[in-house]
Amino acid sequence: MLTITDLEKVYPTGDKALQGVSMEVDGNEVVSIIGPSGAGKSTLIKCVNRLTEPTSGSIVLDGEELTTLSKKELRKTRRDMGMIFQEFNLIERLTVMENVLSGRLGYMGSWDAFRRNFDDEDVQNAYEILDRVGVGGMENKRVDELSGGQRQRVGIARAILQRPKILLVDEPTSALDPETSFEVMEMLTEIAREEDIPVLINIHEVELALDYTDRIVGLTDGEVVFNGTPAELDENARDTIYRSGKSREETGTESQPQSQNESSSSGISDASKEKSF
Amino acid sequence: MSYEGSTTWRKHDGRARAIRYAAIVVAIAITALSWRALDIQYTFVVDAPRNLGDLLLRMYPPNLAYGAEILPPLVETINIAILGTGLAILISLPIAYIGAENTTPNAVTYALGKFLIVGTRSVNVIIWALFFVVIFGTGALSGVLAVAFRSIGFVSKLIAEGIEEIDAGQVEAIRAMGGSPLDVVVYGIVPQIKPAFVGVATYRWDINVREATVIGFVGAGGIGVYLDTAINFFQWSNVLTILIAILGIVIVSEVLSAYLRKKVS
Amino acid sequence: MGSADPERTGGYPSSWERPTVFYSKNVKYLVYGAIGLFVLWSAWELRPSPARLIGGADAATSLLATMFPPDFTPEARGRIWTGMVESIAMSIVATAIGVVISIPIAVMAAENLVPRPVYYVGRALVSISRSLHELVLAIVAVVAVGLGPLAGVIALVIATPGFFAKLMAEELEDIDEGQADAIRALGGSPVQVLLYGVAPQVIPRMIGLIIYRWDINIRASTIVGIVGAGGIGVTLLNSFDRYEYDFSLAIILAIIAVVMFGEILSAVARRRVQ
Ligand SMILES: Nc1ncnc2c1ncn2[C@@H]1O[C@H](COP(=O)(O)OP(=O)(O)OP(=O)(O)O)[C@@H](O)[C@H]1O
Ligand SMILES: [Mg+2]
């Protein structure tokens, strides 16, 4: 399905965000990427649909090499990759319906897009998906009137309406409270199962990864340091993933208290305690 | 607080006070000097209020019948404001694009954008009108162009600021779905700058109605032409009628533009 | 949720219309259409014939040719200097007098300080002053007192309350009422209330506004001459009438320089004061 080989990314600033990452996502697997802040999780996801251009390496989706696609081919292939963002990235001043239907933009001519002239079938599907993600009846609301949880549901609906072959998800719950985080993760994974598509998801909270994903990839300083099932993620493995996070913390680049906990050895037990809640 | 601290504080206060008095004295001196420089005869000044009063008395009552006659130039004034604003927006879009930090292609285009914004803003509408009357002759066409050129700086500056404030995440999302560059503009950028855009357009139109009332003094169309004529022919009650009409359209357009801005927020 | 919905397949509408601020899509198109027609009609009214546009291109080239290089000969510089000094002097005198007459109007237009009827009179004065362009005021002032800088000063003085009294009234409406009440409680007269309870609170902002208004008056003082009300504008109009476009360009460049200098000076001064 999705195969990443020796992927490297060096930002113009000299930051080596990815240093030879190789991994796979198969069938309808839900794979999570965990790792301390700055490990390169977002960079990895964005390299897959080339919102960020990788420096070297290869990414193959369904037998197609993505890193060498021309602009036109890339646009076409991006339709096959639904993306869900940490900050939702919805068009705030448009209605929920327009946002969901914008998932079809890759399939439409620009003139139809401009006139909001969507296919009947797409409209029907959009209504259905809105219902499924739990925001049915809100189609005429403007997105800036919604709560965070509702926004992320719209974000999921938009990605699903793309009928993608894979979902790329970048920290879908960081902007949400814990309760809503669980609901959104639950729904996201359920829908992916129903649609029978794989998910590649960045997660900050280890307990969400343990609960909702089939496989966990640990990323530290742009390198894969763990790749296994949730059951295999023992204290030792966590130590490896978050160990170098400690030095980052000392340099003062940490911002989220959650990851600060995780990156100190005592924080790990905190995280596992939280899991029970 | 220590004793020493309080004395320095008082000293400082004393100095600030001295500076303040000095500033007042200087301001008065400059004003007096300016007055001397103007070389205005004292008797004229004494007579001025009476002359103004006399003029108003001669104007009263307004000539209501004349009201119907000046309807076409009033409409023309508003049209000049609308077309001038519209044209200004068309010209401003590319200027705003190169004058916004996040969309401008390079440093040279950015500097050019900034130069055009500052340059057009510094030349008054009546000066633009003088030029366009030389080029295109008298009439509303010159007026529209004058109003448009005068507005470019203001409109581009505000639109550029609108563009600089857009959220890149929304643009990224459209790209991630396989949207074309045009989709990115229509879905990612336009909705975000629409309120700023409508605000600028209506606000500038409101200002331009006022500007369009005076360009007629140099022959660039609108109600100003009639005001000039009425004054030259000493038709005082017509002058008052025109002044009242100007007051009317300016106030109505102010209210209308405020209403439109509120509606699209 | 969705999966429990019996009508899950086919039960959903296949069309959707974006809600509009108008009552329906048709009304929306009607409104847009009407606006479009109006604009087209206004454009038609201008009737820019091709001949005129071509003539315009010719006129523009010859205009540009005569304009460059701008005339900065010593004689021209002298005339620019004289006119500019007059403009700047007009702006200073007009600001001083304008502010003096604006202060009572500002008090009248402050909702919290005066009785209702007075407030309405104050607002009306502000509105009238704001609505009339400096040049309209100037052309009328020229009729009343004759050509020259006095007319210009009068025009700028009358235009000042529209800006100054309006913003000043807003400042007055924002004051801390407690301080004014304290003076009232001591048995202060209304004038004493203004002097001791209100003035200290607004004077720094007022000075900022005075400088700001002066900046605006400089701009206006460079153009009122076009209707004969004194200053560099008179020189500019004469240069146009005599087809001395190279001198016109020099004057305009000088105006831009003075306006920008005034803008910078006023920005710096306002920052120092506040
Ligand atoms: N646009 C960019 N330009 C330069 N450097 C960048 C850019 N984006 C990210 N980086 C750098 O690349 C590294 C990886 O960043 P990335 O955002 O992928 O980390 P992350 O694992 O997603 O972190 P977080 O958990 O905080 O989201 C960091 O050192 C970061 O500073
Ligand atoms: Mg990230």
The domains of chain C are located at 9-56, 72-273
> Chains with 3 or more CB pairs closer than 8 angstroms to A?
B, C
Burial code (b: 16+ CB inside 10 Å, e: under 16) for B11-25 equals eeeeeeeeeeeeeee
pLDDT in tens, B146-191: 999 999 999 999 999 988 888 989 999 999 999 888 898 889 988 9
Strand partners, A168: A83, A200
C45–B76 C-beta distance less than 8 A: yes
Q: Of A204-208, B41-45, C6-10, which one has max mean pLDDT?
A: A204-208
Q: Is the peptide bond before C161 cis (omega within 30 degrees of 0)?
A: no
CATH of the domain spanning C72-273, picked from 1.10.3720.10, 3.40.50.10300, 1.10.490.10, 4.10.640.10? 1.10.3720.10
Alpha-carbon span B240 to B259, nearest angstrom: 29
pTM above 0.95, yes or no: no
Please give the domain boundaries of chain B with CATH numbers for all domains. 1-38 (no CATH), 58-264 (1.10.3720.10)
CB proximity B79 to C under 8 Å = yes
State both tokens at C31. 């409104």
Give chain A's domains with CATH numbers: 2-248 (3.40.50.300)
Please state, rounded to an integer, the average pLDDT across all residues of chain C: 87
At C179-208, the pLDDT tens digits run 888 888 888 888 888 888 888 888 888 888
Instruction: Output the pLDDT for position C225.
Output: 93
Q: For residue A23, report the phi and psi dihedrals to the nearest 5 degrees.
A: -165, 170
Nearest ligand, measured from the Cα of A85? 2
- Rounded distance from Cα A264 to ligand 1 centre (Å): 21
Nearest Cα residue to A22 out of A222, A257, A261: A222
Range B243-250 average pLDDT: 93
Q: Assign 3-state DSSP to chain C and report helix, strand, coil percentages, each to 5.
A: 80, 0, 20
For residue A37 and ligand 1, the question of a CB distance below 6 A is answered with yes
Distances (CA, A) of C206 to A78, B152, C191, C213, C265: 59, 31, 18, 10, 17
B residues 185-224 closer than 8 Å to C (CB): 210-211, 213-214, 217-218, 224
Q: For residues A221 and A233, what is the distance between their CA atoms, to the nearest angstrom?
A: 18
Amino acid in the structure at residue A224:
V
Q: How far is A104 from chain C (nearest CA, A)?
A: 15
Cα–ligand 1 centroid distance for A43 (angstroms): 6
Q: Which residue, by CA, sits nearest to atom 3 of ligand 1?
A: A11
Specify burial of residue B112 (Cβ count, 10 A radius: 0-12, 13-18, 19+).
middle
pLDDT recorded at residue B185: 86
Apex C167 CA angle, C162 and C168, nearest 5: 105
Which pLDDT score, from 0 to 100, does residue B6 have? 47
Taking the centre of ligand 1 as the mean of its atom positions, its distance from the CA of residue A214, in whole angstroms, is 25
Q: What is the pLDDT of residue C188?
A: 80
Q: Which tokens in the block code for residue A196? A: 């029978």
- Among C12, C24, C32, most A C-beta atoms within 10 A, so best to mutate, is C12
pLDDT for res C10? 58
pLDDT of residue A244: 57
Mean pLDDT of A54-59: 94
Buried b (16+ CB within 10 A) or exposed e, C139-173: bbbbbbbeebbbbbbbbbbbbbbbbbbbbbbebbe
Residue A262 predicted with pLDDT over 50: no
- Average pLDDT on A98-107 reads 92
Q: What is the pLDDT of residue A252?
A: 44
Q: Which residues are CB-contacts of A51 (< 8 A; sequence separation ≥ 6)?
A: B172, B175, B176
Contact of A226 with chain C, judged by CB distance below 8 Å, is answered with no
Contact C221/C208 with Cβ under 8 angstroms? no
Highest-confidence range of B6-10, C153-157, C267-271, by mean pLDDT? C153-157
Res. A29 pLDDT band, cuts 50 70 90: very high
Residues whose CB is less than 8 angstroms from the CB of residue C69 and which lie 6 or more positions away in sequence, other chains included: C246
Tell me which residue of B88, B141, B90 sits closest to C53, measured CA to CA.
B141
Quick one: three-class SS letters along C52-77?
HHHHHHHHHHHHHHHHCCCCCCHHHH
Q: Does the pLDDT value for residue A254 go beyond 60? A: no
Whether residues C144 and B83 touch (CB distance < 8 A) is answered with: no
Q: Which atom of ligand 1 is nearest to the CA of A204?
A: 25
The yes-or-no verdict on residue A274 having pLDDT over 80 is: no
Asked if B164 and B102 count as a contact pair (C-beta separation under 8 A), the reply is yes
